[in-house]
Amino acid sequence: MTSEPPTPLPRPEPPLLRVENLVKRFRVPGGVIEAVSRVGFTLGRAQTLGLVGESGCGKSTTGRAVLQLPPPDAGSVRFRGEELTALSRRDMRRVRPSLQIVWQDPRSALNPGRRVRDLVAEGPVIAGRPRAEIAGRVDAALAEVGLNPAEVGDRRPHEFSGGQCQRIAIARALVLEPDLLVCDEPVASLDVSVQAQVINLLQDVKARHGLSLLFISHDLGVVRNVSDRVAVMYLGRIVEIGDVDSVYGAPAHPYTRALLDAVPVPDPLAPPPGPPLKGEVPSPLRPPSGCRFRTRCPLAQPVCAEQAPDLRPVGDDHQVACHFSLKESPVSRSSAPSRTAVQDGGPR
């Protein structure tokens, strides 16, 4: 009697977006700033990755580099298995409809001299969609974000509130039926009540269309509500990344812990937060050697000035770039990397 061969396990679906060793530099008076330094992450289909950190840490630059706006100086951006950094301008134009962005300030993102219908139709026109289909697509996109095409189509952006302008901006992205939507602080300039409406709208369209979102924000509460996974950036680098419940419930990096402690908790019985961070964020023109967070870190040791920590696993779908993870006991910390020659001219 022969046994049947075992049923092969299904192969895991490759991520929609894979970013590796992304680098983006800018020349400024006094030198060159590496705004994004060796950043890497993956984003699955119909998944939301939140990207958080202080202002100036490189979040928005990372999102724009993923979209090749402008292209990164080094690294790999693979979208649906295709290397975007190797594409010509013509080929990138072919891919562009599948990669859309919602900007932070909707008023400045919308041409004030054009009517709403023309603003939403601009993408399909540039993409060469049949003109007979464009009007129907525009009306459908406006209706999907809660706007009546007959009422808003011939009006201009200055006639709308900030929340309505953001809905128009979302419709302009959705009309191209993208697979990936980069949301660059999409609710930062809106009132709290309007923020909730826009976030709910993004959640609805994500579920309806199977969209993947790269959600960039400095608001940790918003990111926790909308994200499946979260990446924490500091001075151009990702210091922690993982499942949102793991990162928020048991942060492994001192910077993540400090960010969470800084969020007000409306509960007088809640445990007191840890001490606030000391010092200022170093200049990106002259970042510290080794770990860029070490000048403000309560756990810093000599090795932190000598070796830049790489991301390493501290749990299922949870990685941290720290020699002395908060998830490790004092005993296990003795296994931190050994001291080596000081890099970059020594500690700064």
Contact 185, 218 (CB under 8 A): yes
Token pair for 54:
């202080």
What crossing angle do the helices spanning 162-174 and 131-144 adopt, rounded to 10°? 140
The CA-atom distances, in angstroms, between 205 and each of 127, 236, 242 are 22, 30, 24
Q: Give domain limits for the chain.
A: 17-227, 251-335
pLDDT, position 192 = 85
Please give the pLDDT value at position 2.
56
Distances (CA, A) of 272 to 224, 238, 268: 21, 27, 9
240-24-219 Cα angle (round to 5): 45
Look at residue 131 in the predicted model and tell me its pLDDT: 85
CA separation for the pair 312, 323 (Å, rounded):
10
What is the structure's pLDDT at 346?
A: 36
Task: Kindly report the backbone phi and psi dihedral angles of residue 257, in degrees, each rounded to the nearest multiple of 5, phi listed first.
Answer: -60, -40
Tokens of 252: 């492994």
On whether the CB atoms of residues 246 and 316 are closer than 8 A, the answer is yes
Per-residue pLDDT of the chain (348 residues; tens, 9 = 90+): 455 666 665 566 789 999 999 999 999 998 899 999 999 999 999 999 999 998 889 999 999 999 999 999 999 999 999 999 999 999 999 999 999 999 988 888 899 999 999 999 999 999 888 888 999 999 999 999 999 999 999 999 999 999 999 999 999 999 999 999 999 999 888 888 889 999 999 999 999 999 999 999 988 989 999 999 999 999 999 999 999 999 999 999 999 999 998 887 777 777 777 777 888 889 889 999 999 999 999 888 999 999 999 999 998 999 999 998 876 533 333 333 333 333 333 333
d(CA 254, CA 244): 16
User: Any idea which architecture 17-227 has in CATH?
Assistant: 3-Layer(aba) Sandwich (3.40)
Q: Count CB atoms within 10 A of the CB of residue 224.
A: 17
Q: d(Cα 197, Cα 163) in Å, to the nearest integer?
A: 8
Cis peptide before 70 (omega within 30 of 0): yes
| 8 A C-beta contact, residue 103 and residue 181 | no
